[in-house]
Amino acid sequence: MAPRKKKTEEKKINPAAENAYIAGAGTVVESRVTDTLKSNFMPYAMSVIISRAIPEIDGFKPSHRKLLYTMYGMGLLNGPTIKSANIVGRTMQLNPHGDAAIYETMVRLSEGHEALLHPYVRSKGSFGKAYSRDMQYAASRYTEAKLAPISAELFADIDKDTVDFVDNYDATMKEPVLFPVTFPSILVNSNMGIAAGMASRICSFNLKEVCETTIAYIKDNDINVADTLLAPDFPVGGELLYNRDEMENIYKTGRGSFKVRGTYSYDKQNNCIDINSIPPTTTTEAIIEAVIDLVKAKKITEINDIRDETDLQGLKITIDLKRGTDPEKLMKKLFKMTPLQDSFACNFNILIASSPRVMGVKEIIEEWVAFRKECVKRRIFFTLSKAEEKLHLLKGMEKILLDIDKAIKIVRDTEQEKEVVPNLMIGFGIDETQAEHVAEIKLRHLNREYILKRLEEVENLEKQIAEMKEILESASKIKRIIINELNDVIKKYGTERKTAIISAEENDVTAEPEVIDNSPVTLFFTRDGYFKKITPQSLRMSGEQKLKENDKIIQTVESTNAHDLLFFTDKFQVYKSRVSDFSDGKASVLGDYVAGVLDFEQDESSIYMVDTIDYTGFMLFIFDNGRIAKVPLSSYVTKTNRKKLIKAYCNKYKLHSVLYFKENCDILIKSTNKRMLIVNTASVPEKATKDNGGIAVMTQKKGHRVYSVTIYKSGSLENEHRYRTKNLPAAGSVKPDNKAKQAAMDI
């Protein structure tokens, strides 16, 4: 047996030595941040803006255009559907960004997905739904697709030099820069994109209204767009809350928002509400989850059950109602408190000559009309060039056909084939192109009928050429062609609105008072900042309150779900909430940690809770140095729904106690120097400024401070007049030893 050869040891290369051969390796080059951004980030940002995220005037992003043009090249305007995977694979010749991205683009353009008013792709199989988060589309190997009939309007005369073509990414194919679309598709189908530093969000409008508005603009540039373009229209239907001023502002600036809400019907027999459409900005799952959360929080108590009954017939969310529920009032609450009514924010950002521009509707129509005029002119010029070429050939043929015998004699007498064309040129005074055409005429065409037809064709071509030249020189005739094409589009594809228009003023649900469950509850607040809300039924059945170790309950309040809560913190702030915002608890649980629920700042803790419905009464802030600030609770009322108020009390002095009173009463203040003082809260003046420092009430000797503040019950101290004073501040009195019992309640 031959001895095994030893493996050749691989030569280990020292990375440092290897880098020594790279010019400039390891060299630190100082560069300004702005220069680095310009050289590295800006090219990327411009690529995202121009080549990916922002649509162009034909209404498409590059990914849309590559997919649709591939399908057009595959002959999918006619014939049966084919597997989506086949289309995706072919599209990768133009779009190298991966099959998943291409297929997602196809899904959104398909009629099965229901994301567009006029889908460009006819689909077969499961393509998911735009209004559902969980209803996903099937894999491309299971679905089929072809181009929808309206896609013919995208490619009309694309082979007649109506638009420019460029090389694809590897220069093996040509693709169009834009589509010569015959209607303003940029406004007909919604489009959204997020680029680097900018975004675009264009809502969809009714095809018929868009075309009619464009026709009106072509006839008169001074039109008011809102007269013919009523409002956006969405494939999911719904109702648009129309405000003329808001809509005209969007039409003018290209920015703004409007509200859209779902539609519903009431089934009296089954006592349920069927929601048949939802806003385009949300999903059925989001609405159902929002309703369930409201029911759990007892903000809505009229609902027994909610479920998604979407099927082949379309979207449907069913809500089972409790007996006696008013469906109209319930829906007003749902419109206000769930995504069933939502705002659609517009940002009409479009690429014009590779530059992003935010434009109003009238500007968009103006740019589209200019683009379409150029397409029509290029088409006519292309047809004109072809007609002139043909006429030129027929003119040469005309000379030959007037003396066919001479032509035959020239051909017969010519010894070499290559001399036929030159001899015909000399014999009839025609150019090489004409002579080549004549030389190719078949022998069977040398008859009277053929000759007469060719002569008639010359006359027709001359008339057509004259007409086309006249059109190219007349702006009004170009406009007439565009108008006729728009009218044809309306006849073929125009449909009625899917989204109803209703008055925003008459249907303003925000003005409706929010109805909150007013059932009684008991509130518990602990020293460590835990909060419990327990119903009377649960409280009767519960045992001992569960608390965190070393924690204790410092406040117990009888309240209702309709009350407001104020939580004062050790960072001189107050957080506002509602009792209904907290879920019902039990004695056997710790409860809600207020700092976590209300999103306190880091290391911030709640120190006192106030329960109120009408913001009557006042707050007392007692400081260690004996000062007291009295602030009316009404100072904490806000017109907006702000959850946090800063400077809730004075931060100049160390706080000892916080108390809330509805009416004035006596309080007993004790100091570390063993002195006591009884003060009636009426003697402390109110100040509306929340962070005022108050007044000096109990003077403190150096090194001493307030250590106890209690509500004083009359008769609890012997000779209580000794501890009262007519003037403030006062030092208070020392209690005699073994005299009276103190029966005050610590706060």
String of DSSP letters for 250-292: HHHHSEEEEEEE-EEEEETTTTEEEEEE--TTS-HHHHHHHHH
- Strand-pairing partners, residue 525, are 531, 555
Residues 488 and 524 in one domain: no
* Residues labelled catalytic: 142
The Cβ of residue 728 has, within 10 Å, a number of other Cβ atoms equal to 16
Residues 318 and 414 in one domain: no
Q: Which two tokens stand for residue 66?
A: 């590559």
Question: What's the pLDDT score for residue 739?
Answer: 42
The SS3 assignment for 200 reads strand
Contact in structure between 98 and 84 (CB atoms under 8 Å): no
Residues 375 and 325 in one domain: no
Contact in structure between 512 and 334 (CB atoms under 8 Å): no
Alpha carbon separation from 61 to 105, 187, 345 (Å, rounded):
10, 14, 20
- Judge residue 395's burial from the number of C-beta atoms within 10 Å of its C-beta, 0-12 exposed, 13-18 middle, 19 or more buried: middle
Residues 600 and 480 in one domain: no
| In a domain? residue 642 | yes
Distance CA 438, CA 461 (A): 18
Low-confidence ranges of the chain (pLDDT < 50): 1-3, 5-13, 15-16, 19, 511, 738-747
CATH number of residue 165's parent domain? 3.90.199.10
Question: What's the pLDDT score for residue 515?
Answer: 55
Residues 6+ apart with CB under 8 A from 649: 568, 572, 619, 621, 629, 631, 655, 658, 690, 691
Q: What is the DSSP string of 387-429?
A: HHHHHHHHHHHHHHHTTHHHHHHHHHH-SSGGGHHHHHHHHHT
For the beta sheet containing 341-347, the strands, ordered from the edge strand earlier in sequence to the opposite edge, are 191-194, 199-202, 341-347, 255-261, 239-242, 500-503
Residues 6+ apart with CB under 8 A from 443: none
Q: How many domains does the chain have?
A: 4
Distance CA 42, CA 564 (A): 51
Residues 353-385: tens digit of each pLDDT: 889 999 999 999 999 999 999 999 999 999 999
| In a domain? residue 105 | yes
Question: What's the pLDDT score for residue 511?
Answer: 45
Distance CA 249, CA 621 (A): 50
CA-based torsion, 430, 432, 437, 442: positive or negative: positive
Distance CA 478, CA 519 (A): 72
- End of a domain among 146, 162, 180? 180
Residues 397 and 524 in one domain: no
CATH number of residue 687's parent domain? 2.120.10.90
| In a domain? residue 569 | yes
Residues 173 and 291 in one domain: no
Contact in structure between 433 and 393 (CB atoms under 8 Å): yes
pTM of this prediction? Answer: 0.69
The closest of 100, 102, 99, 90 to 62, measured between CA atoms, is 102
| In a domain? residue 218 | no
Residues 310 and 371 in one domain: no
CATH number of residue 477's parent domain? 1.10.268.10
Contact in structure between 204 and 189 (CB atoms under 8 Å): yes
CATH number of residue 317's parent domain? 3.30.1360.40
Q: What is the DSSP string of 665-726?
A: -EEEEEETTSEEEEEEGGGSPB-S-TT---EE-B---TT--EEEEEEPPTTSSTTGGGG--S
How many helices (H) and strands (E) the chain has is answered by 20, 34
Residues 69 and 156 in one domain: yes
Distance CA 65, CA 111 (A): 17
Alpha carbon separation from 507 to 197, 290, 334, 504 (Å, rounded):
37, 22, 13, 5
Which residue has tokens 């309040």?
557
Residues 568 and 694 in one domain: yes
Q: Which two tokens stand for residue 191?
A: 């489009």
- End of a domain among 493, 510, 537? 493
| In a domain? residue 670 | yes
Please work out, in degrees rounded to the nearest 5, the angle formed at the alpha carbon of residue 376 by the alpha carbons of 393 and 363: 165
- End of a domain among 137, 153, 180? 180
| In a domain? residue 114 | yes
Distance CA 592, CA 118 (A): 50
Residues 554 and 658 in one domain: yes
Residues 555 and 473 in one domain: no
Residues 411 and 486 in one domain: yes
Question: What's the pLDDT score for residue 540?
Answer: 85
Alpha carbon separation from 314 to 114, 253, 478 (Å, rounded):
10, 36, 43
| In a domain? residue 604 | yes
| In a domain? residue 486 | yes
Burial 226-254 (b: 16+ CB within 10 A, else e): bebbbbbbbbbbbbbbbbeeebbbbbbeb
The SS3 assignment for 615 reads coil
Question: What's the pLDDT score for residue 640?
Answer: 65
The SS3 assignment for 562 reads coil
Q: Which two tokens stand for residue 11?
A: 């030569």
The closest of 68, 65, 40 to 52, measured between CA atoms, is 65
Question: What's the pLDDT score for residue 22?
Answer: 65
Question: What's the pLDDT score for residue 737?
Answer: 61
Q: Which two tokens stand for residue 633?
A: 């609770």
Look up the domain containing 74 and give its range.
60-180
For the beta sheet containing 592-593, the strands, ordered from the edge strand earlier in sequence to the opposite edge, are 553-560, 520-526, 530-534, 592-593
Distance CA 419, CA 439 (A): 11
